[in-house]
Structure 1
Amino acid sequence: MPRWQVITRVALTAVVGFGTLGATPATAASSSFQVTRFLGEQSLAHKLQYADTTVGGLSGFDRDPITGTWYFISDDRSRFNPARFYTGTLDINRRTGAFGGVQLTGVKTLQRPDGSPYPGVGLPDSADPEAIRFDRWSRRLLWADEGDRPNTAEPTVPVSQPAVRWIDRDGGHLRDLPLPTNLKNTDTERGPRRNGAFEGLTFTPTTIAAVVEGPRFEDGPRPTVGSGAPVRINVWGRNGRIRAQYAYPVDALPATPIPATGSGGGGVSEILAIDDNRFLALERFSIQGVGYKVKLYELDLRGATNILDRDGLANGDAYQPVSKRLVYDFGDLESPTQNLESLAFGPRLLSGECTLVVGSDDNFDARETTQFLAFAARGC
C-alpha cells in the first residue's frame, strides 16, 4: 500500500476565464465546502473474482445512509460478465476517521424491461454503465448509461441511446427518465460524441442531475492544451420532467502529450450534489506519456443560463456557464493519480466532518488500480 501525503489545506482560487465560451464564468459563490484531511486508501486486487464475476471497471458508487450498504456499478460492457452492479461495505471508523477496508457482499445483473441482461458491446441495445445513485426516499437505484454510437474508428457500431434509468435493488428495470433530444446519440456528427454522453449522476434535495462527459458536436471541439470545452448538465424534477440544462466549463488539457502528437482528452467523470444549486465535479484527463490528471471542483448553478433550447454553443452567441471553484488537486498526493470516476459521501464522523470517498475505474488493465480514497470534509 502506498504511503499518502496528508493534505490539510485546499486551494480556494475561483476560475475567472474559460477558453472559447461565449461568456466568462461568474465568480463562484461563497462556500464553506473544504477537504480537511486525508483518511486513507484501499484497493481491490486486479480482476478480483467474486460470485463468478470479474470485478473491475468500477465507474460509480453510492451509499445507503440507513444501512451503510454501498452500491458499485461496473462499466464492463458484457465483455467479462453481463452488465452489473455490486453491493459492499466500506470500513470507515466514525470516531477516528480511519479507513480500514472494502468488502463486497453481493452482485446483481442490470436488466432490460423484459428482464433479460443487456447485450454485449457492439450489439444493438448494448449498455455502458457509468454511474449509480441510491435514492434514500424511494430506496431504489438510479443508473446512467452512456450508450454507444459509431465513429470513424468503429463505423459499424449501432446506435444505443444514453439513458438514466430507475431500477429496484435487484437490478430490475422500472422506467427511464425522458431523454432530451439534444443528448441523443446519432450516426452523424450531431449530439454527443462516442464515449461522451452521460458519465455522472446525482440527487439533490429536489431534483436529479446528470452530466455528459464531453462536448456535443454542436457545442464545439474537445478540450485541447489551448482551450477548454463546455459540457451539459441536465436537470430533471423529481416528477421526471426535464427542467433545464447548464454549461459546465471543462478546463483546457492540463499537459501536453508525450510525444506532442500523442492522444489526450477528458471531461467530467462524476458529479455529487451538496445542495440544490452546488455540486462537486471530478474533472478527469488521460494524457499519453503523462498519465491521469484529476481535479475536484465545486460548481454553482445560480446565475447560469438555461441552455436547454440551444442547439449549439459554438456559434458565438453569449451565455453564462456555471461558476466553478477548485477544491482539490489529486496530483498533490504522493502516489500516481488513477482514473478517478466515482464520488460519494460516506458516514458523518463524530467530529462533525463528513467523509468524501473517491474511486477509480481500472479499465480491467493490470497497469491501473481499483482504488478508494477517503477524505474528511466540512461544508457538506
Structure 2
Amino acid sequence: MAHSRKITGIALSFALVVVAAPPSAAAQRQEPVRITRFLGEQRIAHLATYEGTTVGGLSGLDRDPGTGTWYLISDDRWRYNPARFYTGRLDINRETGEFTGVRLTGVTTLTRADGTPYPAYGKAGSADPESIRLDPWSGRLLWGDEGDRPDPRNPNIPVSQSAVHTADLEGRSTGELPVPANLRLTDAERGPRRNFGFEGLAVTERTVTAVTEGPRFEDGPVPTAERGSPARLTVWNRRGQVRGQYAYPLDRLPTPPKPATGDADSGVSEILPIDEHRYLALERSWIQGVGYRVKLYEIDVRGATNVLGRDSLTGDPYWPVSKRLVHNLGDFRPPVQNLESMSWGPRLASGECTLVIGSDDNFDGSEATLFMAFAATGCRRG
C-alpha cells in the first residue's frame, strides 16, 4: 500500500501524488506506538435494551482516567431514541490484561441550548453523533456531530451543520467550537460531502482536534482503487480558536468493489491523541461485495502544511500529515467490523497501555457491537 509506511520525497499536488514530509529529529527519537498483544473481545447483544433505550450505533468511546467511567455515544438519529450517550464499565485486569466484560451503567439524552433533544433524522437541526471525549482538564464532554446535507440520493434532506459540541455530564449543551468556513455544509457541491463531516475527535491539554471523514468537493474525488484522497484535520486551541488545518492523505481502496460499478465508502472514522503532535487514526473502508477493511495508523502533524486558507487541495503543492502503519486490524477476529471508536484504557502493571477499539453495528443484525482490547507501548496517555 502506498501509505503503509512513512515516505519522503517532493510534495506534489494531490491531483498527482502527495508524500509525507521527512520527520523531525525530535519525532525520530520518540517511541512509536506498537501493539504488543491482543487482550480479548466483548460484545453487546444486537438490539439490547437499557433503561428504555435501544443500544446500538456506538460510534464513539472514551474513558475518564480519574473515575474509570467509560462514555459511549450512539449515532442513532431517533430511529429508536433521541441522540444520547451511555456510561459504562469495561473490565480489564491491570495485572494480566485480561478483558472480561462490558456493562452499561447509565444513559443520558443530549440536549440543545433550549434544553430540548435534537430533532430526528431528516429534520432541520438534527444531530449525527460520531465521537465523544471526556475533557479531564475542564470536566466537560465534547462530542463530534457529522451533520447532514442533501445529495442526489437524498435530495430533501435539510442542511444541519457539522459541529464540535461541548456539554456538561448531564448532556446539556454548553456551546460549540467555531467551524472554519471551508467546512460548512451546503446544499451545493461545495464544502464537505454528505457523511463526510466531523467523524473523529481528540482532546489534549492544549488542543482540540477534529477530522472530516473524507474529502470536500473542492479537494477532489473520493478514494478509489486507483487513488487516494485528502481529508482535513482541524486543530483548535483551548480557548476555542482555530490554530491550523492539515491534510490527511487517505489510502486508495484496498480492492475494487464487486461488481466494479458497486459502491464504496472510505475515510477516517476516529482519531486518538498520543501527545500534542501525534495521533492514532482509524482508516476504514466499506466496499460492496468485499465488506469492511480497517487499518490503524500513527500520524504526525509536525512538518505538515497549514491548509486552512486553501479552498482546494488539488492545485498548489503541500505537505500532508505523515502516516505510519501500526496494524492492519483485519488480523483480529475476522470478519472485520465497522470499527468507529477508539480510546486509551487503564495502564497495565507491565507498563503497557491498553487500547480499546469498538464497532458501530448500524443497528443491523448482520453486524456487531463489539469492543477489542489491545496492549500497546509508545503511548503517552492512560
TM-score range, shorter chain: over 0.9
Instruction: Please state whether the residue corresponding to 1:157 is helix, strand or coil.
Output: coil
Could you tell me the percent identity over the aligned residues?
A: 63
For 1:265, the equivalent position in structure 2 comes to 265
Contact 2:143 2:164 in 1 (8 A): yes
Distance in 2, matches of 1:319 and 1:83, equals 38
Query: Residue by residue, what CA displacement relative to the aligned partner does 1:47-98 show, whole Å, maximum 9, x if unpaired?
Result: 1010000000000010000110000000001110000000000000000000
Contact 1:185 1:191 in 2 (8 A): yes
Alignment of 1:271-282 (within 5 A): 271-282=271-282
Of residues 8, 15, 24 in structure 2, which corresponds to 1:20?
A: 15
Contact 2:77 2:121 in 1 (8 A): yes
Alignment of 1:55-204 (within 5 A): 55-204=55-204
For 1:299, the equivalent position in structure 2 comes to 299
Letter in structure 1 aligned against 2:363: F
For 2:286, the equivalent position in structure 1 comes to 286
CA RMSD of aligned residues (A): 1.4
Structure 1 residues 278 and 245: CA distance shift in structure 2, 3 A: same
Distance in 2, matches of 1:345 and 1:106, equals 21
For 1:47, the equivalent position in structure 2 comes to 47
Instruction: Please state whether the residue corresponding to 1:40 is helix, strand or coil.
Output: strand
**Displacement of 1:193 after TM fit?**
0.2
Distance in 1, matches of 2:118 and 2:374, equals 35
Query: Residue by residue, what CA displacement relative to the aligned partner does 1:14-33 show, whole Å, maximum 9, x if unpaired?
Result: 25689635642124543431
Length, aligned pairs only: 369
Distance in 2, matches of 1:75 and 1:23, equals 33
Structure 1 residues 22 and 311: CA distance shift in structure 2, 3 A: farther
TM-score by length of 1: 0.95
Distance in 1, matches of 2:7 and 2:83, equals 38
Query: Residue by residue, what CA displacement relative to the aligned partner does 1:349-372 show, whole Å, maximum 9, x if unpaired?
Result: 010000000000000000000010
**Displacement of 1:205 after TM fit?**
2.7
For 1:311, the equivalent position in structure 2 comes to 311
Letter in structure 1 aligned against 2:338: N
Distance in 1, matches of 2:261 and 2:4, equals 34
For 1:369, the equivalent position in structure 2 comes to 368
Q: Give the 4+ runs in structure 1 shifted more than 6 A.
A: none
Instruction: Please state whether the residue corresponding to 1:60 is helix, strand or coil.
Output: strand
Contact 2:33 2:377 in 1 (8 A): yes
Distance in 1, matches of 2:348 and 2:217, equals 44
Contact 2:5 2:323 in 1 (8 A): no
Distance in 1, matches of 2:210 and 2:271, equals 8
Query: Residue by residue, what CA displacement relative to the aligned partner does 1:253-281 show, whole Å, maximum 9, x if unpaired?
Result: 11111111111121000000100100000
Contact 1:20 1:228 in 2 (8 A): no
Alignment of 1:229-244 (within 5 A): 229-244=229-244
Instruction: Please state whether the residue corresponding to 1:149 is helix, strand or coil.
Output: coil
Contact 1:183 1:192 in 2 (8 A): yes
Instruction: Please state whether the residue corresponding to 1:218 is helix, strand or coil.
Output: helix
Distance in 2, matches of 1:21 and 1:205, equals 37
Q: Does 1:356 align with 2:349?
A: no
Contact 1:22 1:317 in 2 (8 A): no
Distance in 2, matches of 1:32 and 1:291, equals 30
Distance in 2, matches of 1:306 and 1:22, equals 18
Letter in structure 1 aligned against 2:336: T
Instruction: Please state whether the residue corresponding to 1:375 is helix, strand or coil.
Output: strand
Instruction: Please state whether the residue corresponding to 2:77 is helix, strand or coil.
Output: coil
Letter in structure 2 aligned against 1:25: A
Letter in structure 2 aligned against 1:74: S
The gaps in structure 1 that reach 5 residues or longer are: 1-10
Contact 1:71 1:87 in 2 (8 A): yes
Distance in 1, matches of 2:332 and 2:55, equals 25
Instruction: Please state whether the residue corresponding to 2:94 is helix, strand or coil.
Output: coil
Contact 1:129 1:146 in 2 (8 A): yes
Structure 1 residues 71 and 21: CA distance shift in structure 2, 3 A: farther
Contact 1:224 1:265 in 2 (8 A): no
Distance in 1, matches of 2:41 and 2:190, equals 41
Contact 1:22 1:319 in 2 (8 A): no
Distance in 1, matches of 2:305 and 2:198, equals 20
Query: Residue by residue, what CA displacement relative to the aligned partner does 1:306-360 show, whole Å, maximum 9, x if unpaired?
Result: 000101112x210100000000101122421100000100000010000000000
Distance in 2, matches of 1:263 and 1:252, equals 14
Distance in 1, matches of 2:325 and 2:182, equals 29
For 1:7, the equivalent position in structure 2 comes to none
For 2:346, the equivalent position in structure 1 comes to 347
Distance in 1, matches of 2:22 and 2:323, equals 8
TM-score by length of 2: 0.94
**Displacement of 1:239 after TM fit?**
0.5
